[in-house]
Every structure is written in C-alpha cells, then in structure tokens.
Amino acid sequence: MKHLFRAASAMAVAGALALTAACGGSAGTTVGADQLDLAPLKVDSPTAAHLKDLYTKATDGGDTKIVAYMQGWEQYQKVWEAFEKRFPGITTKGLAINGPELSTKLSTERSSGKHVGSLLGGPDFQRKDVLRTLDLPTAATLDPAYREDSGVFYAPTTTVWGIEYNAEKVTGADVPKKWADLLDPKWKGRIVAGDATTPSATSGTLIRLYGGHAIDDAWLDRLKAQDVTFKSSLEIADQAVARGEFDILLTTLSDFYFPSKTKGAPIGFAFPLEDGNVSTPTYFAALKDGAAPEATELLMNWLFTAEAQQVFAGINALPTMPGAPAVQGLVPLDQVKLLDIPGPEEITSLWDPMTAKFKDVFGSPKG
C-alpha cells in the first residue's frame, strides 16, 4: 500500500479549520430518482442506475443524514454543498474528532447499537475492523496509489509536496527540478525550512523521501553543508521566503502553498520533481453498520465523478482521478512520478529514529 500518511502538521492545519462541527447547506426536499440530473457526473448508464438506486433507498428509508468523523471537513465545504445540490434531501455534517476520542466514540456506538457516524475522513485508517467495503464503480479507474487494496478506503483528493521558492529571486533555469538540485553550492545559506526535529510537515516529507530512496544519509550530510536555516514552524519559513529573506523553502505541501499564492505572495512551487514525488492522500471510508449507509455509499461514489473532481480542483484540492483537471498550472497527477513509500507501520517506526537523526545532523531550529 502506497502513500498512506499525511504529515502531522498537515493534519494540524486541517484540524484548525474544523475546531467545531462543519455542516452542509440546506439540502432541500427529496425528489424522485428519475428527476435527478446526473449528466454533469459523466458516468455510464449502469453507474447512473446504481446511483439512482442508492438515492431511492436512502430517501425512501428516510436515512439521509451523513455524519463524518473528520478533522478538516470544513475545508471541503463547497464539495459537500455541491453533493447536496445534486442529491436533494441528503445532508452532510462533519465532526472534528480523532485519536482516543474517536476510538471511544466508535466503541460506544458499536456496543450500544446506536450509530451516529457514517464515514471517516483523513490520511489513513489502521483499524479496518470498523470499516466496510463499498461498491464504487465511479472509482474503477482510480490509481492504486489512491485506494486501499481491499476496497475499504479511497482518496478523491491528495496533497503533494514540492520545493517552494521566491519567484522574484529564483527564475528560469535556476528553479529546482529535483531534490538533488538543493545541494548546489549556489544555494548555500539561502535555504530555509520548517522544524525537522519533531513530527511536522518538514520531517514528514524528509522521512518519506528517505523511505522512498529519493534521498539518503549522504544527501542529508551534503544538505547540512548548505547551512540551511531551520525555523520552528513551516508557516514562519514560508513567510521568510515570501518576504525575500531566503530564496528557497526546503519543502512545503500544496495545502500551504496555494493559500499563500492566492494571497499574492511572490512564490513558486517546484513540482513535480524529476527524482521522485510525495503524495499524501485524504482518504474516505464508510463505517461498518454506520448511519445512512446508502446515502454514504452514494456520496462516496459521487466523490470520484467528473463533477466532484472539478469542485475539488476549484478549491485547490488536487483531484486524483485520471483525466481530472490540473490545479493552478500544476502537472496533472496522472502524469507525476510518485515514490513507492513504505506502508504505515514502517513509516511510523521511522518517526523517532529519523527525527533524532535530523536533530543530530541539523541541530535545533532557530526562530
């Protein structure tokens, strides 16, 4: 299984966006399945019939309230609103809950038989026992990098990692094309980074690059010789590049880059890189015995349709389906060389030794 984890700081960003429940807009009154306009979804006739059947079962049974347990649900608000408009009468709601609290809630629901939650959303799900397989014809052509092998969870969107640079100071042939370019002596003292000594976006990227064999110990030693300035957070490092204090940000994720770029920061994003790329998908999965099962399966199918993928692209959330639109000039994901990153257990086992290694090599962050 590839590309299963999103870095801890990326989850922190998503969590900050959803400290309270995020609810969808008014879904309106239900209609007959034959009144549904599914043309914008661009699905074949059998798939359209499957979606109509799910809608009919959900609305006839009155089980139409989808509740997702997910940090960051709110950042996809336009996605949920588009779904509710396409399928009137079905509502969506996100609750920002994870970790031990989520485990306790799921255990309580299963033991009591009173199921509130419908699905989970996030970077990975190691407890497959609480999830169920789905019939998702809309995701039939989804790259294996964005779905779990047994058909339990699927990612309609992903975050990618690249090298940010000040577009006023780094231009033309100087723009990095691969991770190895960061070792060029011309960048000595001109690179800034987030904290690599604790679980963070920066350390998470380096661990994945290391696990995917894009970098090694020799690369880390040569990077040390570049006198990289490590800041206490990726946000601080990003701002330093935008102000022109540094030319290059060692690495950042698209979730950080796009908001800064949209606000007018003079920055660019080197992606994809010739020597390998990291993609950390946002997965969705249906809870076993969860509430609104047909409505949930309908939503999961819709997420991989042309309509939904376009909505994701419109909010700078990279869509994963083959042929999906590119986002702000980036190369479409189906044309990107992704690294074969170790599975979740191995990545987890690398966190402590690798962050200790980074501290030994780079020292503690400054500022």
344 pLDDT band, cuts 50/70/90, is low
Q: pLDDT tens digits, residue range 106-159? A: 899 989 999 999 999 986 566 678 899 999 999 999 998 898 877 788 999 999
CATH at residue 233: 3.40.190.10
Q: pLDDT tens digits, residue range 70-105? A: 988 999 999 999 999 999 999 999 999 888 888 899
Q: Domain of 257?
A: 159-278+337-362
Give dist(CA 92, CA 67) in Å, integer. Answer: 6
SS3 287: strand
- Pairing mode, if any, of strands 191-193 and 229-230? parallel
1 pLDDT band, cuts 50/70/90, is very low
Instruction: Answer yes or no: do 261 and 168 share one domain.
Output: yes
For residue 354, being part of any structural domain is answered with: yes
Ramachandran quadrant class, 284 (left: phi over 0; alpha: psi -120 to 50; beta: rest): beta
Instruction: Answer yes or no: do 352 and 286 share one domain.
Output: no
For residue 29, being part of any structural domain is answered with: yes
Q: Residue 5: its pLDDT value, please?
A: 35
Q: List helix spans (H) across the chain.
A: 8-16, 45-61, 77-86, 99-112, 201-211, 217-224, 234-242, 254-262, 293-302, 306-314, 344-362
Instruction: Answer yes or no: do 213 and 357 share one domain.
Output: yes
For residue 216, being part of any structural domain is answered with: yes
For residue 2, being part of any structural domain is answered with: no
CB contact set of 163 (below 8 Å; sequence gap of 6+): 176, 179, 182, 248, 249, 250, 251, 252, 269, 270, 271, 273
Please list, residue by residue across 22-60, b when 16 or more beta carbons sit within 10 angstroms of its beta carbon and e when fewer do.
bebeebeebeebeebebeebebeeebbebbbebbbbbbe
In percent, how much of the chain has pLDDT > 70? 90
Instruction: Answer yes or no: do 132 and 214 share one domain.
Output: no
Give dist(CA 10, CA 200) in Å, integer. Answer: 8
Instruction: Answer yes or no: do 53 and 168 share one domain.
Output: no
Instruction: Answer yes or no: do 248 and 348 share one domain.
Output: yes
Instruction: Answer yes or no: do 86 and 185 share one domain.
Output: no
DSSP string, 249-281: EEEEEHHHHHHHHHTT--EEEE-S-TT-B-EEE
Overall domain count for the chain? 2
Instruction: Answer yes or no: do 41 and 100 share one domain.
Output: yes
For residue 43, being part of any structural domain is answered with: yes
CA distances to 22, 33, 67, 89, 292 from 86, rounded to whole Å, are: 19, 11, 18, 10, 17
Instruction: Answer yes or no: do 23 and 52 share one domain.
Output: yes
Give the mean pLDDT of 310-337: 92
